[in-house]
Structures are given as structure tokens and as C-alpha cells.
Structure 1
Amino acid sequence: MSKRRINKVAVIGSGIMGSGIACHFANIGVEVLLLDIVPRELTDKEKKKGLTLEDEEVRNRVVNNSLQESIKSKPAPLYHKDFADRITTGNMEDDISKVSEVDWIIEVVVERLDIKKQVFDNLEKHRTEGTLITSNTSGIPIHKMSEGRSDDFQKHFCGTHFFNPPRYLELFEIIPGPKTDQEVLDFLNGYGEKFLGKTSIVAKDTPAFIGNRIGIFGIQSLFHQVKEMGLTVEEVDKLTGPVIGRQKSATFRTVDVVGLDTLVHVANGIYENVPDDEEHEIFKLPGFIDTMMEKEWLGSKSGQGFYKKIKDDKGNSEILTLDLDKMEYREKERASFDTLKKTKDIDNVTDRFEVLINGDDKAGEFYRKNFGALFAYASKRIPEITDELYKIDDAMKAGFGWQHGPFEIWDAVGVKKGIELIKDLGKEPAAWVNEMLETGVNSFYDVREGNTYYYGIPEKTHVKIPGQDSYIILDNIRESKEVFKNNGVVVEDLGDGILNVEFRSKMNSVGADVLAGINKAIDIAEKSYDGLVIANNGKNFSVGANVGMIFMMAVEQEYDELNAAVKYFQDTCMRLRYSSIPTVVAPHGMTLGGGCEMTLHADRVVAAAESYIGLVEFGVGVIPGGGGSKEMTVRAQDLFRKDDLELNTLREHFLTIGMAKVSTSAYEAFDTNILKEGKDIIIVNKNRRIAAAKEVARMMADQGYTKPIERTDIKVLGKQALGPFLVGTDQMRAGNYISEHDQKIANKLAYVMSGGDLSEPQQVSEQYLLDLEREAFLSLCGERKTLERLQHMIQKNKPLRN
């Protein structure tokens, strides 16, 4: 059988989902044909231009407007603006025949079965046999869509449910029809995971599939609970946010962002289609939701939902909250619970659950009821919506941004304790849970030899979760493969002669322990291993240097200690570059300041596509001091070609630091030269990143890695660059674009990147630039306004402009 490849896809329907899906295929290098309907009337603008209904501009108006709106939306659907060139637009009358040339047709039209069937009638006339055809639906049964279709169509047809926005939400549900070929399901499962960067899950053809069935139950359950327990909107969002490993937007803010109408549509669909569900009434909308729908308080799209943003008399933005009893907006109130305070020092979310369910205030009661209802409901959905419990957990993590799925939370509180919570609500768990305990199995999951096993109900024992071989899950190997650890890092043996340094500090910030851990790992690797990877599975790779430590030293005026600390950071980054073993950094998420400097100094970078990388030190009143200012100077000079372009190239690198530019994807980091084309690698599925980094380190070692020679050949421009830079910052200050302190920081950076006040260009060493960088960093730490910025960042976690 020939190998199936996807070079070109057709997306039918260019609404928010259709355009988002088209953009994500463009992100991964696939050619996309995006089609939509032909308008039946001219707009006033088109009439003024003298256009007719036959003009291409008019006929493609719907698709072009939708795509442009999507591209401009935030968060951006594209990894890089240039990727839009991979999308060709057209309409479903003039261009429908072009679907004969594609490898996969994805239908994303309005959620109505009759319209979808009309579209399929049309597509079937032009589709080439063997072409994949899928429907992106959040609830219409797949078997109803395949009725009356040809045999070849049905064999290659299934549901593929992307979550919105398609670039960012990782869940990809694949729902077979009655005649879908197993080869098609296997292909889509692998393709979604490997190429689209998704958590692929083959689900059953049941209402709302897996993610929405459990997720909407959770939200509806809260809607009913909020009135019953007399909770406010703020209190629910406080209880259901980061404290339990959920998004900062928690429940009500998330509904505002997604749109209340979207949620209501799915909830109504479930209510109508699952009459025998034991929790059928939970899917019935409470009165306050009906009122909001009538008033069209749909959330962000209508300007108000559970929250409403207004401007006060002074023009400042203020957020109001909906009072669910009075159905009026009021000032936002601060939510506080004693039980939550007890978890303040518990960094690991799984360790908090036990404390939360034992709270003796309203929060404790909330968690007991909430988790009890969730455990009972999830257990009873097997085997209705899936046969494997891990798929429910995976769906909630990938589709709803939960850090832990229902069965993982249940394991954390204890299976027996979970059953108690269920029984306290007058409910019962599914029979298989009690049977599991009777067979002597006391947990839903087990970790052995680096692999996760789940409880298989038919097997009555733990079964290995498939597809783990392409991942390295540090949580699973940390204890068994530990080589060294301190308070900041754990160094693990990844096998095949490669070590990994995993940051374990708060927010993965880089402080003394992390630096000591990296140096120790390099020592061990140089002596007994072949390569070193720096990677972690945290929410973010690293938010940068430990700002609190810098602030304390600067306030106490301990400049010798501060100088030593900055030099230690510089020396550590230089060791990454000049050790005798290959070093690979594998960033993901926020990779800022010191985290970015680590990335800049590795031999190779294997970055997750969703990496937000940048040198942001200006925000706290300093310049990059861990080698970042030096490295951007070196990278600029490596691009020098002709004298007249040298200053322009240096200026671009200067502005990257001066404007604290952060890439909105790893691909954008090529534009700022933080990642290098042809050398650094981008991985769409962040879960594959560590395994890929290990492979790169292994390959470099096998090819005969030789320690690089330290650079002494860096051309700096001296006054030739410094003069224009200082004129530029003067003009920016005069135009009031920057503050006096911004100018001071920029001038210090200009001095470093020019190589000092040299009368003419000359060659210098990296150490020369590092010394200039450190001197500038220390002098800025003595400035009152820098201390104010550092303090503001520590207290408010956002930059201060002063």
C-alpha cells in the first residue's frame, strides 16, 4: 500500500474555525485551498466601485474578508505572517473542481446537517477517490452525515474535531463513521500528533464526543452550584483557576472569551441528544444564562458577559462583574478563602487537592461537591464515550487546558476518598471502579520504567498507554534516572549517553542553584557522558533570572557579590558554548531574559513552535547581563557584509534588545536572529521536543563533536556606531517616545554593542564584550529608577515605565 502524504488540503468554510484551521495547516507548511460561498448581493462599497456580481473580487469577498479578519485577530493564528502566502482563496462555484487535486478535504461549514449534506453532494462530484474527507463538527452525529454517500466516500470519511483556536488548543478528536477504514483512523491519529502538534484521540460517535461532553458537564455543574452555594462570579473563578491547575481565566472569564452562545449551543445539543444520561438535568440552562442570552450578554464579542470592561471618569479601564442574583453589574470584589491560603506554599498542584477537599470553609465544601460530581460523571461515561479512561484525561488537558484530568485528580485524592465524595452527594461511581479496588488495584495510573500505564477495564490490570515511545516524560523518569539534584535542578540520564538538566525552581527562574546545577551537569557530562540537553516539562521554559536576588543585592549595595553573581551567569552561558560535549537547549512557552540567554549559547536549539523568546531586561531597568548583549553583538557582526550595511545590521540587533522584542512563535525568533536558520530546529508537538533534542545531541556526538575555539575576531564599530546610536536615543527622548531612564539604559547598551568609545573599528574578544556588558549591568543596578522597576516587577509581575 502506498504511503499517504498530505501536501495540499482544501478547507470548505472560512468562518472563525475554517480560517483558523487553514492557518494552522499553513503553519506546518501545507498548501491550503480555502473556499466559501458566493455573495448574492453587492455591498455599497462595491456598487461605488462599479463592480458586478460576476467580478472575482465580489465572488471571493466572503472568503477573503474572513481570512483577513482571522489573520489580524489576537492571539495570532499564524506562526509567522509570511505563512499566509501558503493559503489560496476561492469560492464554491468557480473553484470547487480544484478539490480533485488535494489530499484531504475538511468541511467546516455551519453546524446544520442539511447544509453539510448539500456541501457533501457538491464535493462528491469533484473529489478524487481515496482522498480523505472529514467534517469539523462539535456535535452532529458522524453516522448521519455519511448516510447516502458512496462507498469510497464513507471509507475515507470521519469527523475531525479541532478546538478553537486551532493553533493553540491541542485536542484533536477523530470520530469514525460506520464504514471508516482503520487505515484512515490510524493515519489521522498519527498525523494529528506528529504534524499538527496535537493530542489526537479517537472518540466514539456520541453527542459532543469526549472533550465537550465532560467539559460542558463541568461548566454546567458549576452554573448550578454557584446559585445553590451562594457563590459570586469572582469566587468561582478564584476556586477554578491556577490553584487547581486550570487556566488563569478559570470558568466565567473563559466563557466570556469563548462566547456564551457557543457554550449554550453545545449544552443544548447534549441536553436534546442524551435523554438517558443520569445527569440529564445538569445540561438544562439555569435562569441567569437564559436572561444573559435574551440580553445578548455573550461575553467579549458583545462587550459584556460575566464581566464588563468600562472606562471610568478619568479614562482608566475598569472591570465590572455581573451579580447573578440582581443581574446587574457591580464593582469587582476580591475573593478570599482560608483553604486556598493553606495551599500557598504547595508548588505541586497534585499535592494541593488533598488540602482543598479537607477545607472546613465554603471552598472545601465547593471542592468536595465539585470533584465528587466530576468523578461520578467521568466514571459512568466509560464505555459510553470511550473504552479507555486516559482518553478522558487527555481530552480535558488538551481541549480545556486542565493540568490534570478527572482520573488524575481522583488518584491524587485517593480512589477510596473519591468514592466517599461521590457517596456524600448521594451518587454512586460506575461499577468498574469498585471492581478495580476489589482486584487489589488502588490507582487509575501507574508509572513503570519511564512509561505511564492506565487501568484497562476489560483487562482488569494496568495497560501501557500507546504512543509514548516518541516522548520523554521527565515526571516518569525523574526519580529512577536522577544523577544529581539541588534546590534548582534535577539532572537526569536520558539514556544513550545524554544527560538532561531540568529546572525545578519557582517559574523556572535562573538563580544560583540553577547555575550551579548546570555547571555540575557539564562537569558530569564531560567526564562520563556524550552530550547535554537543557529542557523541562514546566508550563514555561524559564521566565528569566531571579529578579528578587538581583534586587536584594542591589538594594544592599553588595556590588562585589552582584558582580560575582553576574559573572557566574556569564561564565555558565559560555560553558554551554565552549564545553567539550555538545549542548542542546529545548525551549517552550516563555523563554525570557536569562532563559533566552541560555538558548543563545547552546550549540543547537530544538524549540517548540509555541516558544515566546526574547531579551526583556529593559523592562526591569537593565541590559541583558548573562551574555545576551554580547551575543547579539556577535550575531550582528557575523552578518556584516559591506560597510554601508554594518550599522543597519547592528541597529536591528540593538532594537531587538532595546524594544524588548518577544517572538510570538519560534518561527518569529528567526527574524530577530535569536534562532538561526539552518541550524536550529522547530518541533510543532512540544511533547516530542526533549526526545528530539536528545537525538540531536547524540547525532552531534556521533559526528565527532569538537570543542569550539573561543572567539577573538569580533569586529566592533566603536564611535562609528556609538555616535549614531546616541543621536538616535536623543531624538527618541526629544520626541517623548522614551523616558530619561529608558535613554540611559539604551545608551549603556549602545556603548556595549559598539565595543566602547573606540576611535575606529577593531577586532575584540568575547570576554572583552562580556566585561563591558557586566560593567553596564552593574552601573544600572545602582540607579534608583532601576531599583523601582525591579521592585515593581517583583510585587506586581509587570514592567514599570518610569
Structure 2
Amino acid sequence: MTEIKKVAVIGAGVMGASIAAHVANAGVPVVLLDIVAKDNPNRSAIAEGALEKLLKADPAPFMSKAAAKFVTTGNVEDNLDLLGDCDWIIEAVIERLDVKQALYARIEAARKPGGVVSSNTSTIPLATLVEGLPAGFAESFIITHFFNPPRYMRLLEVVGGEKSKPEALAAVSRFADVMLGKSIVRCKDRPGFIANRLGVYWLQTAVTEAFRSGLDVEEVDAIIGRPMGIPKTGVFGLLDLVGLDLMPHITASLAATLPKDDPFHAANTPVPLVAKLIAEGYTGRKGKGGFYRLNHEKGKLKEAIDLKTGEFRTSRKPELEAVAASGKDLVRLLDHDSTHGRYAWRVLGQTLAYAAALVGDAADEIESIDEAMRLGYNWKFGPFELIDQLGGAWFTAKLEAGGFAVPAMLGVADGRPFYRVHEGRRQALGLDGAYHDLLRPEGVIMLEDIKRAAKPVLRNGSAALWDIGDGVACFEFTTKMNAIDPDTLDLLMRSVHQVAKDYKALVIYNEGSNFSAGANLGLALFAANIAAWSEIENLVAQGQTVYRMLKYAPFPVVGAPSGLALGGGCEILLNCDAVQAHAETYMGLVEVGVGLIPGWGGCKEMLQRWFALGRLPKGPMPPISRVFEIIGMASVAKSAAEAKELLYLKSADGVTMNRYRLLADAKAKALKLAAGYAPPAPQTLNLPGRSAKAALKMAVESLARLGKATRHDVVVSTALADVLSGGDTDMMLPADEDALLKLERANFMRLIRHPDTLARIEHMLTTGKPLRN
């Protein structure tokens, strides 16, 4: 078996149904089965109901609701024949061995020869699951442990047994990597595998030490959060997110299966308050709340549980001298002589020591443990990367001074870093005490590797141009949030000239969390506050000029976004010849939220795309109205699939499911376009002018009368209508790109001078939220 073309998921609970949805996101047919519904004439009502819930869920399991067409529902009594042509069957039923093994016997009778079967379990060993089952089944059986929610969590832990065929592991791993976008971590058949074994130990230690130290939940989450590169949910916020009622099941399983001398048992102390919260329906965000709740009787007031009294009180921002005094120096935090400093050390110190003790047990490679925690728990740094930040010798000495056991792996390191760069190659320390190269999977190119071994072709404080081989250059934003400023545009212009001279193609890409949050609003507000209007207009003109240079360059330009691509970050993609987008790309022209309109060609490009679509009713108003709605509502596509529906992306643009494969895919697209490349021909649109503007303005004023649009919304929308209608022209006069860009610039400048726009910009910069004025 070499290729997976159809998948089945048995078990339509939240996890199983969401796995099926993500397979559908890849455009792969998937069968979703569950037990027969009791007292219901529709015997497949459970699976069908699960599909209906998926379509309404938030965050959305489907990247586009259109993906639901790839899901076929049924039940395990009437529809097991649907497994006959499935290449991979995923079991996601209740964590009971007898139930699973009874199901496996039925799957064995129905599956195709060579079809892989896997369990989504993380609590029952693989050897136990296949015990007593036919040898042929055991050869095709593996564990694939997804993390919830499957669409968004990139980690997939894969476990093979003694009898599992290597080709079964390889086929599933390749499919999950390329088609599902997963980072595959191969684990040993140990309780909890890697992420949950270490992650649950970390959470239990943090909770136990919090009670012992007499800290508030807010103090804990502020300490065990951003200072350590951990999401701001911290500990108690994360427990609320995953569900308080889930944790006792996981801890009970680990307690029953881990060796008696495992440090987990010391951390796994009973917490009566948690039992009380669960009994009262406080199971976390999915229930009435958990350690935190919103008090709806007090206007959604955020409250937190008092760990001493067990009663809710108003949540408060903690004062943490230890965090403030340490700045970004983690050693200073862990060494701080205070309750908060000592707590930080006891939690992180024991967690990192446990991680080191897992080498050789849960996994043989430190990079597997680091990847599991980065992607399974969204840590910015893995445990061994954190030890390197602290210094191995310092960490070992502090463990010894505190009376903690020093794991063998720290002795292997003997003060050396766990990671190093040697001759431009990143290496990791192995159990054998030697350093080994960290090799990327086939088809993966990372800019961080190129940057480690080479110097940029061009660089300034806001961007850089890199040679990524085979005649392709890569333009990288390097500012905070990859915001675009005059220096970004200046280097982009220089890069266009450089690539025209020395390269075949250009890729615009970076490895930040977000492709680009758009133009630097802080600079715009500063210029407006000192009435430097000419500087702002120069910036608008500069962006229009540079983006047009990209569009009509003598070589292909491929955008490769991931994460946010908003405002000017979206506009640069609209001006690329093609885009290879990560599936989790969130694109939108959101300028109206700060009282502006797109000024770098976004209006022009969206008009051209919707006029060229050819699927709307005839006449100029349908495409104009659709673009007016998209931009006027600041519509953000919440996936690459949705971006195609809004025409932020073209139908021919590519989508990469695995973030690690994005640059390689974009480079391949650029090279393909470079063969016989010719720039696009300029476009002219016939726009209706005054009549269209009047119609659009009437629509907005009607919304304002209904209270659905604010006073300044009308002002901004009127400016947008002026651009999209072609300005103050007669009926159906042609408007070329120069005319549309001139209209964008004029209306942008009119709005930037408006006090209500400046108020919106300042509010956004201060709070991160839009102002409705």
C-alpha cells in the first residue's frame, strides 16, 4: 500500500467527527460511522447529527462548509461495507478495551486487504489493544494520536507495534504530513506517549505547587505563561480550555499505567476543589466556567475562583515583582528570592527535569520531545531549548541544590548545550553523547536553515532578500508583526530590480506567526498628529508604485502567506502573479475598521477579480456591490479555502496543508511559472460612476437608520463607494488602473485627515480592538 485515497472514522464524538472534518478539509472522501441511534427511525442519526454540529461549531472544524460534501455518514450495524474501499480506518470510540477489541474484530472482517487501522487512544498501550487479534490485523494496526481540535493542532503522535508493518506507518505518516498538515512525532508505546505524559505532569505540578504556595490563579497564569514562552492561558486558563472533567480521566490512566517510581505519582495529588467544581457543572469553557467564569448577572464580569475559599471573586491583574524585575531573563525569574520566584522554579525546574528523564523512555530524540510540546501545548520553546536558554550547568546545579534528582540525560550533556549550529547545520545531542544533524523531511525547505548558512542579498531594518537556490529569491518581512513601513517598500523596490537582473522568480514569504498585519499604523498616526500629510501621501503613492512593480515585473512573483495577511499584507498578495497559501491563512482588507479604505491597490484588484469571475448576473453593479460588501464589512477569510470564495485568492492559487512545506511548494510554483513567463496585460473596467455611488450610499444610509452602521461608517463607506463606482464620472466610462489608484489615494487622504478616523486608529493601537464611532 503506497497511497491513501479514502479514509473512515468510527466514533462520531467531538474528536472523531473533527478528525473526519479535517480529512474532508484535504479534499479526501471520508466515512463517519457511529452506533445505531436508539428510539430513532433514522439509524444513522448520531453520525448525521455530529456532521450538523460540525457545520455550526466555533472554532470551525471545516476550513469551508463546502468540505462537508466529502463526508459520508452511517452506522456500524448497516454500513460497515463502506469500509471495503477505505485505505485508512481510524477508531475514535470510548476508551474501553473491550469495546475497542470487539470493534476491531468487525473491522477486520470488513476492511480491504492491507488497509491500515489506527486508534486515536492515548491511554491504552498498542500491545494491549491488539492482544488476541489475528496477526494480519496486528501488522496493519498503529496508533495515531490527534490533538484537539484536529484542524488547528499540528501535532500527530504516531506509534507502531512490534508487528506493525513499516509501510503502514510510512503511508499514514506521509498522508498526515502532506494532506493533513501534521508534524509527525514517532513515539514509543509508553503511557501518555510524549505530549500528554509531560504536559499533564507539568499541569499537575503547577496546580499542586500553587496550592502549596498559596497563590491566586491569576498569579499562576501570569508566571507560568509569557515569561516562559507559554500561551497566556497559563495553567488554570488551559485547564478551563481543555475541560476540567477531562483531566481526572487522563491522570487516572497515567496513574494506573506508569511505573511506581515515576515522578508523576508525586505530582498527582487529589485536588478537592476540582472535584467540587466538576460536580457543580464548572467543567471549563464548555460548561458554566471553571477556574474562571463570566458572571452574566453582573454584565459578563470576569471572575476567578479563590483557591483558598473556593468562592468566585472579581478577577484581578496580579502584581508580580519577580516577573517585572527579571524582564526577559528567565534565570533571574527562577532565581528571584520571593514566593513567585520560588514557585516559578519549582514548576519549571521539575517539568524540565521530567522531560530530560523521558529521553530513552518516551522517545530517544530530544527534538521529538521539544516538537511535541511546541505543537501539542503551543509552547514557544521545547523543554531542551529552555534548558539551553538557562544553561545546562546552571540548571543541573540548581536541581542538585534543591535536592531534586538529576536525570541521566543531563549527565550525558555534562554542561554542553542540547542544540548547536555546526558548519551551518543545526545539530542535537543524542543519548550516545554525540551531536547529530537535524535533517528536514524530503520536500521541506526552511528559511531559518538558509539564513543560518548564508548572508542576505539585500537587507535593511524592515526586510531582507535571500537566495533560496535554483534562481529563486525570497523576500522576507522582519518588522514586528511584519508590519509594512517605508523601509519595507524601499527594499522591495530594490529587490524587484535585483531579481530582474540576477534571478528567475521571487517568493514573498517569512516564518513569523503572521505573514503581515498590514501597514504600520503607528507611523501613520504619528505623521497625522504632526500634520505631515505629504509624508502620508508619499507613503500611499510609494506602496501603489511598488505593488504595481511587483504585478508587472518581468519575472513571476509568488506570495506564500501563513497566519494573518491583513490590509497591506493582503494587498501585496493581490498583486502577486500567484499565491501558494498555507491552509491556515487569514486574509482580509480590514482598513474600514480603522476608518480608512485600501490604498495600495486592494480596491482595484478586487474589482478586477470580481468583474472577471463571470458567475454573477450581468451588468457592472453585481461585482461592484459584492466588492463593496466584502471591503465594507472588513470580511476576513478564516482559511485559504474561504479566501478563494471571497476571491482574495484565485481558483488556481495553491494551498499547502503543512506549514513546514510552504516555502518548498511556493518555490516550485515560482519555477513552474518562470518557464516562458510574460507579465499580465493591464486591465480597464467600465464603471458606472455617479449612479453606482448613489446606490451604494443609499444602502449604507439605510443600515445607519437601522442602527447597523455608525456615523463614521457612512463616511468611510461613501469614500469606498466613490472608488468602486469609478468616481464622479458619467455612465460606463472606462477606468484604467491609474484612474482607480488615483481614486484610492485621494479618498484615503480624505479619510486620514478625519478626526473620527484618527480616533479609530488610536483606539486600535491602544486596545487592539476596533472603535465603533
Q: 2:708 aligns with which of 718, 727, 737?
A: 737
Aligned-partner Cα distance in 2 for 1:70–1:284: 36
Deviates more, 1:249-258 or 1:107-116: 249-258
What's the offset of the Cα at 1:361?
4.5
**Per-residue deviation, 1:148:** 1.3
Cα deviation for residue 435 of structure 1 reads: 2.7
Secondary structure of residue in 2 paired with 1:636: helix
CA distance in 2, matches of 1:264, 1:519: 58
Contact 2:591 2:597 survives alignment (8 Å): yes
Name the counterpart of 1:771: 742
- The aligned counterpart of 2:568 is 594
In the alignment, the residues of structure 2 paired with residue 447 and residue 684 of structure 1 have an alpha-carbon distance, to the nearest angstrom, of: 29
Following superposition, the deviation at residue 641 of structure 1 comes to 7.6
- 1:14-37, Cα deviation, whole Å (9 max, x unpaired): 000110011001000111111111
**Would you say the 8 A contact 1:189–1:201 is kept in 2?**
no
Cα deviation 1:572-624 (Å, max 9, x = unaligned)? 21122122222111111111111111111111111000001001111101111
Q: Structure 1 residue 381 and structure 2 residue 358: aligned?
A: yes
Which stretch has the larger CA shift, 722-731 or 478-487? 478-487
Q: Could you say which residue in structure 1 is the equivalent of 2:627?
A: 653
Q: What is the deviation of 1:358? A: 4.6
- Say if 1:34 and 1:642 are closer, same or farther in 2 by CA, change over 3 A: closer
Q: Deviations over 1:169-190 (max 9, x none)?
A: 0111111123111221222222
Aligned residues: 771
Q: 1:643 to 1:84 in 2, by over 3 A?
A: closer
Cα offsets for 1:508-539 (capped at 9, x unmatched): 11112222232232232222222221111111
Q: Report Cα offsets for 1:711-743 as digits up to 9, x if no partner.
A: 252322213422321221222222221112101
* 1:725 matched to 2:696: yes
Secondary structure in structure 2 of the residue aligned to 1:18:
helix
Please show how residues 382-397 of structure 1 align to structure 2 within 5 Å. 382-397=359-374
Q: Counterpart in 1 of 2:636?
A: 662
Aligned to 1:336: 319
Q: After superposition, give the CA deviation of every residue in 1:109-146 in whole Å (9 maximum; x if it has no partner).
A: 01111111111122222222211011111211111110
Are residues 1:22 and 2:20 paired? yes
Q: CA 1:514–1:243 in structure 2 vs 1: closer, same or farther (change >3 Å)?
A: farther
Contact 2:425 2:453 in 1 (8 A): no
Distance 2:549 2:331 in 1: 43
Q: Distance in 1 between matches of 2:53 and 2:427?
A: 44
Pairing 1:125–2:109 present: yes
**SS in structure 2 of the partner of residue 446 of structure 1:** strand
User: C-alpha distance in 2, partners of 1:517/1:227?
Assistant: 54
Which position in structure 2 is the counterpart of 1:208? 192
RMSD, aligned α-carbons: 1.9
**Larger deviation, residues 381-390 vs 461-470:** 461-470
2:665 is the alignment partner of 1:704: no
- Match of 2:314, as an amino acid? E
For 1:310, give the aligned amino acid.
N
* 2: CA distance, partners of 1:667 / 1:449: 41
Partner in structure 2 of residue 686 of structure 1: 659
Q: What residue in structure 1 maps to residue 418 of structure 2?
A: 444
| TM-score scaled by length of structure 1 | 0.93
Match of 1:319 in 2: 302
- Give the Cα separation in 2 of the matches to 1:76 and 1:136: 21
The structure-2 alpha-carbon separation of the partners of 1:342 and 1:511, relative to structure 1 and needing over 3 Å to count, comes to: farther
The aligned residue for residue 615 of structure 1 is 589
Matches of 1:25 and 1:757, distance apart in 2: 50
CA contact (8 A) 2:24 2:68 kept: yes
The 10-residue stretch of structure 1 (151-160 or 116-125) with the greater mean CA deviation from structure 2:
116-125
TM-superposed deviation, 1:427: 1.5
Tell me, in whole angstroms, the C-alpha distance in 2 between the residues paired with 1:301 and 1:643.
44
2:554 to 573, 577, 580: 580
Pairing 1:154-165 to 2, within 5 Å after superposition: 154-165=138-149
1:271-324, CA deviations, whole angstroms, 9 ceiling, x for partnerless residues?
1211231342212333332332333321112212000111245xx321100111
Contact 2:158 2:186 in 1 (8 A): yes
Identity %: 35
For 1:301, what is the secondary structure of its paired residue?
A: coil
Paired residue type of 2:393: K
Deviates more, 1:283-292 or 1:121-130: 283-292
> In the alignment, residue 141 of structure 1 is paired with which amino acid?
P
Counterpart residue number, 1:142: 126
Matches within 5 A, 1:80-91: 80-91=64-75
> What does the per-residue CA deviation read over 1:221-252, in whole Å, with 9 as the maximum and x for residues that have no partner?
10111122222111121223334332232221
Q: Aligned residue for 1:281?
A: 266
Q: Structure 2: any 5+ residue segments left out of the alignment? A: none
Scaled by the length of structure 2, the TM-score of the pair is 0.96
1:236 equivalent to 2:213? Answer no
Q: Which runs of 5+ in 1 are unaligned?
A: 43-54, 347-351
Q: Kindly report which structure 2 residues correspond to 1:502-521, keeping only aligned pairs within 5 A, or say none.
A: 502-521=476-495
What is the aligned partner in structure 2 of residue 301 from structure 1? 286
1:642-674 alpha-carbon deviations (Å, 9 max, x no partner): 883431122111111000000110000011111
C-alpha distance in 2 between matches for 1:267 and 1:480: 45
- Taking a change above 3 Å as real, the CA distance of residues 510 and 424 of structure 1, as seen in their structure-2 partners, is farther
Residue in 1 that maps onto 2:2: 4
Give the residue type in structure 2 aligned to 1:280: H
User: Could you tell me whether the CA contact under 8 Å between 1:525 and 1:531 is conserved in 2?
Assistant: yes
Residues 647 and 343 of structure 1: CA distance in aligned 2, closer, same or farther (over 3 Å): farther
- The CA deviation string for residues 457-506 of structure 1, in whole angstroms up to 9 with x for no partner, is 13x31112343443222333325322222221232221222221222211
| Structure-2 change in CA distance of 1:366 and 1:299 (3 Å) | same
Report the Cα distance in structure 2 between the residues aligned to 1:574 and 1:664, rounded to whole angstroms.
27
User: 1:75 is matched with which residue?
Assistant: 59
8 Å CA contact 1:159, 1:175 repeated in 2: yes
Asked if the contact 2:359/2:409 (under 8 Å) is kept, the reply is no
SS at match of 1:532: strand
Instruction: Determine which of 570, 578, 582 is the counterpart of 2:544.
Output: 570
